[in-house]
Amino acid sequence: MNVSLMAPLDVARFALAYLVIICIPGYAIAIAARPRAPLVERLALAIPCAYSLVALSGLVTALAGLPYGLPAYAALAVPAVAAAAYASWRRRSMAPVTTDATNDGRWWLAAAGVAIVQAAVLGAVFAGYVAPPNGDAVSHVQWTNMVARAHVFPLALLSAHAGDATGGFYPPVFHVLTALVLGAAPMSPIHAVFYSVLATAVVLPLGLFAYVRGATGNARIAALATLAALAFDPLPLYIATQGFYTLVASQLFIPALALALRDGLGRGDRRAVALSAVLGVGLFYTHPTEFITAALLALAIVPASLRSLSSWTRAVTYGAGVALVWAIAALPALAAVRRTMVAGAQPEIASAHFFVPSTNPTPPVVLATYVDNVFGRNESYIVPALAVIGAAWCLAHRRWLGLVASQTILSVLFLDATSTQLLHRFYVLSFPWAL
Average pLDDT, the chain: 85
Lowest mean pLDDT among 67-81, 193-207, 367-381: 367-381
**Residue of 415, 407, 369 whose CA lies nearest to 391:** 407
pLDDT at 355 over 80: no
Mean pLDDT of 35-54: 92
Contact between 174 and 250 under an 8 Å Cβ cutoff? The reply is no
pLDDT at 27 over 90: yes
pLDDT at 233 over 60: no
| 249 lies in some domain | yes
Query: By residue range, what is the domain housing residue 248?
Result: 8-330
Helix (H, G, I), strand (E, B) or coil at 157: coil
pTM score, whole prediction: 0.89
pLDDT at 96 over 70: no
| 344 lies in some domain | no
pLDDT at position 348: 67
| 391 lies in some domain | no
pLDDT at position 309: 92
C-beta atoms surrounding 93 within 10 Å: 8
| 308 lies in some domain | yes
| 370 lies in some domain | no
Q: Could you read off the pLDDT of 150-163 as tens digits, one per residue?
A: 899 998 888 777 66
pLDDT at position 85: 81
| 378 lies in some domain | no
| 167 lies in some domain | yes
pLDDT at 222 over 90: yes
Per-residue pLDDT band for 434 (boundaries 50, 70, 90) equals very low
Element (H, E) at 256: helix 253-261
**Residue of 320, 285, 247, 291 whose CA lies nearest to 59:** 285
| 404 lies in some domain | no
Overall domain count for the chain: 1
Per-residue pLDDT band for 360 (boundaries 50, 70, 90) equals low
pLDDT at position 346: 67
Contact between 26 and 50 under an 8 Å Cβ cutoff? The reply is yes
